[in-house]
Chains A and B, each alone.
Chain A
């Protein structure tokens, strides 16, 4: 694989491989010297057409910990008026010798265009495009879920595991969410069962074929005892357009779809709560829920760095040498090998799933 544009680019084996690589990367991050020499001399460009300090810093940290040179290129506000600017910007980066371009763009498909229009040889990593995909977010979510729900004393990160048999509820603004799209595809690929929960106005027409169940009622889904509940950010402006609001009021949204202490208390003991951030405390998630012991939201941020290190490493190096000092073993390339069957969505719970 040359690029990471969508979680649909990953089959089961490739996805597990990224997560396993991320586990190795995470292991190095507990050490005193966090930096690996792996990408020394390579250049990673963070090309952000949309503000996202957290995602940019996460990629920047990941690249620097792999010893890559990092260029941050913020092009906010200079794009949609005239599309040519995307092309010109990328041609400039190509001339500067970028090896990887991490791109965040408000237009769905912009990373795809960037990767396939013949403008650049660089590997393209989609850091979020419009309402389409945000694959590294889904990978870090899967990494976090796997660690908490399939890890064991001897294998704390659940290395080698997929997410077969787990039930994940994804709650909130699915319609506008690239996080939801990426997660549905990846969770399904990894064998999890996904239920989307949202008011009908915040589900896309055409959601039918998605490999997920759909519910309009959060309490019904929580009663099923999902293993993980992923709350999506709801933008307050979604309800303000006169006649075009997606829900009547923030209060009603919170009442019907917000995760609060009462709903949290009804979940099984092992269930975890995720949120891609930034949170609207008091809207889609209450402070009680966000700060509870079940919440892994802060850990998601840390795991984001490890996952992005893994992605950059696999795209740019992929030669089996992570630069990780011995004792962790070699890491295979991101592209899948025939060793593992590529399709395994519906298999039953593996014996390693012990933490449930």
Chain B
């Protein structure tokens, strides 16, 4: 018997209220008749009063660091995808900077399998562009593309593919299997020893600067390379006003480029560095208010295609120290949707349909995922997230599902709460709680238990 879910009085994409029935892994019925369809069905029926709530397609993250294999002390595939489900995600792309690197078919298949067995979200491994992320030789991109993991996104994220010849070859080569190179745009020589955004704050507090031009110069080069070889390019975590301008220009020329912004670059600035709390140390660094304004505008007008978390869990040892010694990165899976609501929806810049576009449809399209980022329509796979936009919550990292506590949102009040997440009709999250007990849910195969502590 599979549980059916009847979402009563829900607003798909924030539009008109209706009833939605989730059954048999699909969106089974929508509208006044949805309840009847449920009553006629023999299975368990779970009715959710969704008055005031918004239904979105399950979120798709194009940029997640799950840390397994190699740094299971910071996160595992199970704990990271469980956190993703709590955050409303039904698919994540696991970045390649693991140990060993995700640069062979064997490693990407291992990550893909563990993700599938865990069952919290779909896990799509990102393949490394270069062997060992070393920027020297192309990794076996074709083998990863043809593997069971069907890799389509390739990135040396954490490092920039700075050699222009290697970047050109990667762009060209991935055309063979409709792949995309996702570039971490950081000119290495301009950022040696860099600690934070180079500007007024870095000058005052004496931390080595990471200039905006180091990002913009690489993006400018890459869009021209992509145009030259007719390949598609994805720009990871774009963070500066200048980068928005360059991508806008490239799109106006018809260059096949997509761009992402992280939740933290939508809301935080380099002013946060003044207290030397390494939780705000991230790469690319937090920029200025003018940059924050520009990326918000770029996201609203479609210059920036997606929001991706760059969820980067780190152990306490890697953050509980002086700034220069701390690791770069912050968690984000469980706060991303709230930050987007706060900065884009509650400010009137975007609708919930736009949110579905930037957090589900577009990332699914860039990653060439078939069953994700779809319309909410009868017969579609039931990858869905139910959101209560009127809820308010204060972020307590220790209570999050991720195994790490380096959330920059600690102590901040955020709007919105994920009430339920459905992965192909099965509730991975109900009433905001991850559904660790799988025996009563669909599929029947017990998954690995994961980290069940709250």
Enumerate chain A interface residues (CB-CB to B < 8 A).
Answer: 79-84, 86-87, 105-110, 112-113, 116-117, 129-133, 178, 181, 204-210, 243-244
Contact = CB atoms under 8 A, between A and B. Distances in A.
B276 interface: yes
B326 interface: yes
Nearest to B200: A206
Contact of B200 (A83, A105, A208): A208
Given A132-B206, A205-B203, A208-B200, A82 B325 contact: yes
B432 interface: no
A130 B201 CA distance: 15
Given A112-B276, A209-B200, A131 B325 contact: no
Interface string B202-239: 11111111010000000000000000000000000000
Nearest to B212: A205
Interface string B323-347: 1111000000000000000000000
A206 B206 contact: no
A344 to B, nearest CB: 22
A214 to B, nearest CB: 12
A305 B322 CA distance: 28
A38 to B, nearest CB: 32
Contacts of B324: 80, 83, 106-110, 130
B322 A86 contact: yes
A181 B204 contact: yes
Interface residues of B, number: 27
Given A109-B206, A112-B276, 16 more contacts: A80-B325, A83-B317, A83-B326, A86-B322, A86-B325, A87-B320, A108-B207, A108-B324, A109-B207, A109-B323, A117-B320, A178-B206, A206-B201, A209-B204, A243-B189, A244-B189
Contacts of A181: 204, 206
Nearest to B325: A83
Given A132-B205, A133-B206, A181-B206, A113 B200 contact: no
Contacts of B211: 205
Most buried by A among B192, B195, B209, B323: B323
B326 A204 contact: no
Contacts of B377: none
Contacts of B207: 108-109, 130-132
Contacts of A83: 317-318, 320-322, 324-326
Given A80-B324, A107-B325, A131 B206 contact: yes
A112 B199 CA distance: 20
A256 B123 CA distance: 60
